[in-house]
């Protein structure tokens, strides 16, 4: 079952399944390393809930919840 990355809780791991974005946003997300098949762990959320910090491919990345909502994932 897939869900949006924005709905994954801190500490949970998941795998990217697909991107639900227009061409420009999809390319931007892929340039940041959010490519289908990639494992991701949600590290934490900012105090107000946005942005979220992710760990993937050996580095940490912060993205807005609006961007994370476009990433479909499968929880590990």
**Total of domains in the chain:** 1
- The mean pLDDT of 64-74, rounded to a whole number, is 95
- What domain range is 54 assigned to? 2-75
d(CA 33, CA 63): 12
Q: Which of 39, 46, 48 lies closest to 63 in space, CA to CA?
A: 46
CATH at 29 = 2.30.30.90
Which burial class, exposed, middle or buried, applies to 26 when counting CB atoms under 10 A from its CB (0-12, 13-18, 19+)?
Answer: middle
Verdict on whether the full-model pTM lies above 0.75: yes
Q: Residues 18-27: pLDDT tens digits?
A: 999 889 999 9
User: For 6-61, how does the pLDDT look when each residue is reduced to its tens digit (9 = 90+)?
Assistant: 999 999 999 999 999 889 999 999 999 999 999 999 999 999 888 999 999 999 99
């Amino acid at each position: 079952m897939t869900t949006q990355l924005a709905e994954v809780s801190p500490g949970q791991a998941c795998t990217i399944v697909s991107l639900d974005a227009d061409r420009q946003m999809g390319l931007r997300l892929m340039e940041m390393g959010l490519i289908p098949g990639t494992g991701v762990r949600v590290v934490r959320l900012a105090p107000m809930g946005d942005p979220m910090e992710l760990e993937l491919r050996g580095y940490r990345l912060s993205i807005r919840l609006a961007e994370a909502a476009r990433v479909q994932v499968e929880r590990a």
